Amino acid sequence: MKYAIIIPDGAADEPLDELAGLTPLASANIPNIDWIAANGRIGTVRNVPPDMAPGSDVAILSVLGYDPTSCYTGRAPLEAAARGIDVGPDEWVFRCNLVTIINGIMEDHCAGHVSTEEANAIMDQLRDALQSDSLRFYRGVAYRHLMVTPGPVNVKTTPPHDILGEPIEKYLPTGKGAKLLRETMTRARDILARCEVNDIRREMGENLATDIWLWGQGTMPTLSNFAERFGMRAAAITAVDLIRGLSKLIGWDVLEVEGATGFVDTNYAGKGARAVAAIDDYDLVFVHVEAPDEAGHNADLAGKVHSLEQIDLHVVGPILRKLQAGAEDWRIMVLPDHPTPISLRTHTAEPVPFAIAGARMEHILCEPFTEETAQASDLHIEKGCDLMEYFLTVR
């Protein structure tokens, strides 16, 4: 049996006037995903448990078959695992975004999608000025970086993409350890104001990396091995450290793809081709595409629809054809992890649609893959962590 899971991150949305009352999923030309929905089972799944923040960290844990209410410790530790960072049992990891704050307003959670090369130069400058026995900085990809500090810490932080267009003052860290974080953010602002990279970006008319934003904190988690639970060898394809880290923690291989960016300009065809090749070597192949989520955060409707169509054409289509042609028994599943509505520019916790086709997955509705169709089905999974077992074992 061969299995494939494709995650168009943040694809679920709300009806939009600009699309004549349709959602981006309903408007997009996605014939391969629609085929899966029409020829298999479609339903909804709640990946974000009640009273938990609707982030990809929580939602993807559920998708992978792990209960966030019992094993989630924070987003940043998962990214630390992806990078192989040595974090002590009493240390805390924080996500360190490069952001654009103007006149006290969070204008951009990713500093104009600052490039990795530019961001590395910025982080090197910050590390030289700020690193100490109490603080360690680690470079990442584009605007996404990490900071490690000794515990104990008991602070409240807010993701920067949740407060776009809002004053930052009421969202600054609070609680035990917040003083150090606030001081570090203030010192970083002064350093970034004199940063050569920002001088160049200013001349180019691009958003500046004016500040760092610390959030997503936690200690390193312990997760059970996926192969021991399900008896399957699996691999993940992603451009995002969060997914890389989760994959490594549960014993999956991570397969890299040149040109995979995590944005709308990612290498869709490369991801699809890498997944097709991996099907021969693994029982389960998991492909995550961040682009629809980034488009949602940026209120980029055209970009969201385009990314969904590219995922369907270059990722879902080739994988589906490979399974149909080569595997005696197979299943394929497509689902977002959470909604990222264009109108809100942030995540929400509502259930998302999913569709499964393949062995012993008889069709019920014969309808395309939309939020409305999924809601009309008779298959609604309230605990997202139960979906993986359903996908792998239901007969």
Domain residues for 196? 82-218
Residues 207 and 228 in one domain: no
pLDDT band at 141; cut points 50, 70, 90:
confident
* Residue at 77 is within a domain: no
Residues 232 and 213 in one domain: no
* Residue at 73 is within a domain: no
Reported as a single tens digit per residue, the pLDDT across 165-195 is 999 999 999 999 999 999 999 999 999 999 9
In this prediction, residues 35-43 reach a mean pLDDT of: 96
pLDDT band at 40; cut points 50, 70, 90:
very high
Reported as a single tens digit per residue, the pLDDT across 278-310 is 999 999 999 999 999 999 999 999 999 999 999
Q: What is the pLDDT of residue 133?
A: 87
Residues 108 and 49 in one domain: no
In this prediction, residues 329-352 reach a mean pLDDT of: 97
- Count of structural domains within the chain: 2
pLDDT band at 5; cut points 50, 70, 90:
very high
Residues 6+ apart with CB under 8 A from 95: 75, 76, 79, 144, 145, 146, 214, 215, 216, 217
Q: What is the pLDDT of residue 166?
A: 96
Residues 264 and 359 in one domain: yes
In this prediction, residues 67-81 reach a mean pLDDT of: 95
Reported as a single tens digit per residue, the pLDDT across 23-32 is 999 999 999 9
Residue 327, pLDDT > 70, answer no
pLDDT band at 87; cut points 50, 70, 90:
very high
Q: Is 327 exposed, middle or buried, given 0-12, 13-18 or 19+ CB atoms closer than 10 A?
A: middle
* Residue at 365 is within a domain: yes
Reported as a single tens digit per residue, the pLDDT across 92-113 is 999 999 999 999 999 999 999 9
Residue 363, pLDDT > 80, answer no
In this prediction, residues 55-78 reach a mean pLDDT of: 96
pTM of the model: 0.89
In this prediction, residues 39-60 reach a mean pLDDT of: 96
Residues 57 and 24 in one domain: yes
Residue 322, pLDDT > 70, answer yes
Reported as a single tens digit per residue, the pLDDT across 205-215 is 999 999 999 99
Pairing label, strands 380-381, 41-45: parallel
Here the contacts of 293-296 (C-beta below 8 Å, separation 24 or greater) are 293/9, 293/10, 293/11, 293/56, 293/340, 293/347, 294/10, 294/262, 294/263, 294/264, 295/10, 295/264, 295/342, 296/10, 296/13, 296/340, 296/341, 296/342, 296/345, 296/346
Q: Quick check: helix, strand or coil at residue 286?
A: strand
Residue 152, pLDDT > 90, answer no
CATH number of the domain enclosing 374: 3.40.720.10
pLDDT averaged over every residue in the chain:
95
Residues 236 and 147 in one domain: no
Percent of the chain clearing pLDDT 70 (strictly above): 99
pLDDT band at 326; cut points 50, 70, 90:
confident
Q: What is the pLDDT of residue 145?
A: 96
- 218, 241, 271: which is the final residue of a domain? 218
